[in-house]
Structure 1
């Protein structure tokens, strides 16, 4: 059956399910969604159960949109919205999308715009015809999110055509009678960096993550040229577990070499990967390195990105459904669960995950409807790779800060802009607020402030305690006066010459970014302290300093200078967004249902092998620690 025939049959079924006075003017696949157009959205709005019933009956993600001819004038629509929504909702902005018939309403208190059981939203639809979508007004404006939204609005027509093409490809007929599922390892196996795997069936090919190894010149990129993956236009989808460069840094390059399909990720992952990728090519350009892609390719990737919330079950290929679950690693990070065929096979890729409650996130999800194979990280998979508790880590950090301040020094913390920075910020803010640390300035240099602004935009992705603190107790740790954004080199100089303080600066592995400026200025003074709170990959400057190098070469204005490292170097374990050895083993013990196979990746060779061996010995689950370029048949 052709896609057109499928749509005709779906239109017939939809029309029979709807009340007779509601007319369907059109029906189309747009990405993974079945979009139903009607010239009377007001009547559908009266009954919130109709759409849910349709979605359940059709087993599709159903969206109802108004036929464009019934939409109210935007100016008049705004007035009607303001009449219905109580003033205390704090309406701040409206964005009308003429292509989809949606109006995005920004409000300080979205719940008051939604109303009890969605009653206010339905009333808005009845009055204006537009389909309302409510988002929270972020307390800190993110230029990345603002620019992303503005760009997506500017390419509405083009994006709609892209989504139609993707939708028709997803819902094409299943042609093959064969049934098998395979994983091909294209990167990130027995190593940390360039994570990339190919999930393939007779019908579809899906790339899970496509990262870059920023600490390597020889093995920086995945093996995308192998026959299993190339040519790239045969790939159905790219799925991102999270935004870090070692998992998403090479995605724009796919569009440079022929890929035309969708990228699936959570909304925060979309915004964070734009931030990190723009910074990645900016640093590469400033350091005279070859850039793997231009900013135009980042925009192309953005144009093809489809965001999914945790728990949304979504068709991404004719025989494959995807569901994303909280991974607890960074904002929007996901364990990606794939359901292949009509109950044929289920496989989950953890990406990077944290099986412990942190200051920011709940522990990684460990319960799935079905699960046969688990692909899990082994960053800290070695038998000796245990971490102190978060409480112990915070206690040690605060002691180091107190000791350094007491001797008149400054604390510099190299941190990834996304994840570790915000964890450390919240620990420091609470200590200052509760008077267990004297009032000092905490300077944020590099992308940290912008990444934090993105965190404030998505409070629903944070844990319950942090949300409660922000919304019910009126305390937003991210907005504390102790945090000062560093915006200029002259401001940086004043910090170096000024009073004792804490500086959080990128990059986390000291491979570039403003942290190098602080190392040059503060490294020779033994009163200062360098606190390492994140994983330092082999080959990075951070790993060398951690090993005890007391002189390091740093480039400045085309010249290389040697900087003495006389300051105290302290590694504070426990802030990592990765599960340690005990948490990894505990995850396998508690994951439900028990998988019939575990594959380890994202760790150096010894850690991947050690974790795989230990899982087998402890749980008698068949395990593998494949090398890159292996193909594993799952069924």
Structure 2
């Protein structure tokens, strides 16, 4: 079954469940999400059970967005949003993204913006038709976070196109041949640095971490030249457990040599990883060393980066679901749990972990519904 066939089937099921007074204009995959565009977002907001019902039936993560034709003028919408949200929320910025129908609300207290059981977000959807997305204003001003968020806003249209390509590849379907699961060690096994492994199934190839051995001048890269890995275009996804360079330092190299797929990590890992990679380039240039990639490739990584919160389960390749859990190592560090097939196999990659509770972090999660 082709992706077009899958989408056609999904559209039929969506129209069976959604009431006839709610007009659906488009249904499309964007990364791991199934996005439903409608001319009546306010009615979706009133019937909260609809999205849950669709997600349960289709077994997909679903988001509803307004059709561009029904969006309220941004100046009018901004005024109304500020009237709806209490002052104590501490709104610092509002950014409107017409290409995806989203308004990004930066606030000191995101919980106040959301309201009890999402009441204020639903009110915003009903009254201005924009889909609100709430992000926390950093308690300490961070130039890195500001620049990353600003860059992602400037490339939002290109990113939408990238996510659609990723979504179509992700939902290409599974083969009926014999199933297998294998792990290929590419670096960081019985050594410190250049951590990298490949999870290989009949239908998918996933890299877990692509690190750098900063202490080695001659052999600091994982074995990315092995025939199991090449060509890089055959890799379905990259998962980064945390931001330290021995786990994330060479992810941009993949985009230099042809990879154009997604990178999955937590939101703090995305920001910290970018900071450390840029710092690595500055130090290498200052020491007159040849750099393996440039800032252009870091920007390409950001365009393809899909962030996941702890506990969110999402499809990342045909027959493979990923859930990230707290690893207790650094901010945003994660234990990656992979569920392969319909109960075929479950495998966990820990990255770096800490079991002890500290002043900053909870201990690493080590209990899972199922793991072999």
TM range (shorter): over 0.9
Are the counterparts in 2 of residues 269 and 333 from structure 1 also a CA contact under 8 Å? yes
Are the counterparts in 2 of residues 15 and 23 from structure 1 also a CA contact under 8 Å? no
**Once the 2 structures are TM-superposed, how far is the Cα of residue 49 of structure 1 from its aligned partner?**
2.2
Give 1:73-112 correspondences, 5 Å limit.
73-112=73-112
Partner Cα separation in structure 2 for residue 85 and residue 150 of structure 1: 23
In the other structure, the counterpart of 2:227 is 227
In the other structure, the counterpart of 1:545 is none
Are the counterparts in 2 of residues 241 and 351 from structure 1 also a CA contact under 8 Å? yes
In the other structure, the counterpart of 2:268 is 268
**Once the 2 structures are TM-superposed, how far is the Cα of residue 137 of structure 1 from its aligned partner?**
1.9
In the other structure, the counterpart of 1:169 is 169
Tell me the SS of whatever aligns to 1:223: coil
In the other structure, the counterpart of 1:211 is 211
Partner Cα separation in structure 2 for residue 157 and residue 104 of structure 1: 15
Partner Cα separation in structure 2 for residue 358 and residue 163 of structure 1: 37
Are the counterparts in 2 of residues 176 and 202 from structure 1 also a CA contact under 8 Å? no
In the other structure, the counterpart of 2:18 is 18
Tell me the SS of whatever aligns to 1:325: strand
1:503-550, Cα deviation, whole Å (9 max, x unpaired): xxxxxxxxxxxxxxxxxxxxxxxxxxxxxxxxxxxxxxxxxxxxxxxx
Partner Cα separation in structure 2 for residue 301 and residue 109 of structure 1: 29
Q: Does 1:116 align with 2:116?
A: yes
Are the counterparts in 2 of residues 252 and 301 from structure 1 also a CA contact under 8 Å? yes
1:282-329, Cα deviation, whole Å (9 max, x unpaired): 100000111010110100111110001111110001110000000000
Tell me the SS of whatever aligns to 1:203: coil
1:103-138, Cα deviation, whole Å (9 max, x unpaired): 111122222211111111100111110001112222
Partner Cα separation in structure 1 for residue 154 and residue 187 of structure 2: 35
Q: Does 1:333 align with 2:307?
A: no
Are the counterparts in 2 of residues 176 and 203 from structure 1 also a CA contact under 8 Å? no
Tell me the SS of whatever aligns to 2:197: strand
Partner Cα separation in structure 1 for residue 83 and residue 268 of structure 2: 32
In the other structure, the counterpart of 2:141 is 141
**Once the 2 structures are TM-superposed, how far is the Cα of residue 19 of structure 1 from its aligned partner?**
2.1
In the other structure, the counterpart of 1:187 is 187
In the other structure, the counterpart of 1:158 is 158
Partner Cα separation in structure 2 for residue 248 and residue 132 of structure 1: 31
**Once the 2 structures are TM-superposed, how far is the Cα of residue 20 of structure 1 from its aligned partner?**
2.2
Give 1:5-84 correspondences, 5 Å limit.
5-84=5-84
**Once the 2 structures are TM-superposed, how far is the Cα of residue 219 of structure 1 from its aligned partner?**
2.3
Are the counterparts in 2 of residues 211 and 250 from structure 1 also a CA contact under 8 Å? yes
**Once the 2 structures are TM-superposed, how far is the Cα of residue 175 of structure 1 from its aligned partner?**
2.2
Give 1:483-562 correspondences, 5 Å limit.
none
Partner Cα separation in structure 1 for residue 332 and residue 10 of structure 2: 33
**Once the 2 structures are TM-superposed, how far is the Cα of residue 176 of structure 1 from its aligned partner?**
4.1
Structure number with the bigger relative contact order (C-alpha 8 A, sep ≥ 6) is 1
In the other structure, the counterpart of 2:243 is 243
Q: Does 1:358 align with 2:358?
A: yes
In the other structure, the counterpart of 2:289 is 289
Give aligned pairs, total: 372
Larger radius of gyration: 1
Partner Cα separation in structure 1 for residue 64 and residue 224 of structure 2: 39
Tell me the SS of whatever aligns to 1:273: helix
Tell me the SS of whatever aligns to 2:218: coil
In the other structure, the counterpart of 2:301 is 301
Q: Which runs of 4+ in 1 moved over 2 A?
A: none
TM-score, normalising length: structure 1? 0.58
Q: Does 1:344 align with 2:365?
A: no
Tell me the SS of whatever aligns to 1:209: strand
**Once the 2 structures are TM-superposed, how far is the Cα of residue 48 of structure 1 from its aligned partner?**
2.1
**Once the 2 structures are TM-superposed, how far is the Cα of residue 187 of structure 1 from its aligned partner?**
0.3
**Once the 2 structures are TM-superposed, how far is the Cα of residue 217 of structure 1 from its aligned partner?**
1.6
Are the counterparts in 2 of residues 284 and 290 from structure 1 also a CA contact under 8 Å? yes
**Once the 2 structures are TM-superposed, how far is the Cα of residue 218 of structure 1 from its aligned partner?**
2.7
Partner Cα separation in structure 1 for residue 256 and residue 47 of structure 2: 46
Partner Cα separation in structure 1 for residue 267 and residue 150 of structure 2: 15
Partner Cα separation in structure 1 for residue 84 and residue 168 of structure 2: 38
Partner Cα separation in structure 2 for residue 46 and residue 87 of structure 1: 25
Partner Cα separation in structure 2 for residue 269 and residue 106 of structure 1: 19
Give 1:334-483 correspondences, 5 Å limit.
334-372=334-372
Partner Cα separation in structure 2 for residue 151 and residue 49 of structure 1: 35
Partner Cα separation in structure 2 for residue 136 and residue 296 of structure 1: 27
Q: What is the alpha-carbon root mean square deviation over aligned residues?
A: 0.9
TM-score, normalising length: structure 2? 0.98
Tell me the SS of whatever aligns to 2:118: helix
Partner Cα separation in structure 2 for residue 87 and residue 158 of structure 1: 34
1:478-527, Cα deviation, whole Å (9 max, x unpaired): xxxxxxxxxxxxxxxxxxxxxxxxxxxxxxxxxxxxxxxxxxxxxxxxxx
Q: Does 1:318 align with 2:318?
A: yes
